[in-house]
Amino acid sequence: MNSSEIARSFEQLWDKKPGAVVLLVLGFVVFIFLVVDAWRHKRRRHKPRR
């Protein structure tokens, strides 16, 4: 599956239900934000305090 096929199916989904696409993108962004936040907290915790 190449990028143009993904874009085409994405456009079809946008035509049918744009709300689902918005929710999908929002969920994706929130997921990435949570992963990055957790990763940063994990790194901070392992550093020895002086």
Local confidence band at 48 (pLDDT 50, 70, 90 cut-offs): low
Give the global pTM. Answer: 0.54
Q: Residue 28 has which token pair?
A: 């994706």
**Structure confidence by residue, pLDDT tens digits, 31-47:** 999 999 999 988 876 66
Q: Residue holding tokens 């993108």?
A: 25
Q: Residue holding tokens 């994990």?
A: 42
pLDDT greater at residue 22 or residue 48: 22
**Structure confidence by residue, pLDDT tens digits, 23-32:** 999 999 999 9
pLDDT greater at residue 23 or residue 49: 23
Cβ pair 14, 21 in contact under 8 A: yes
Alpha carbon distance 17, 36 (integer Å): 29
- Please state, in angstroms and as integers, the Cα–Cα distance from residue 47 to each residue in 20, 36, 41, 43, following that order: 41, 17, 10, 7
pLDDT greater at residue 48 or residue 41: 41
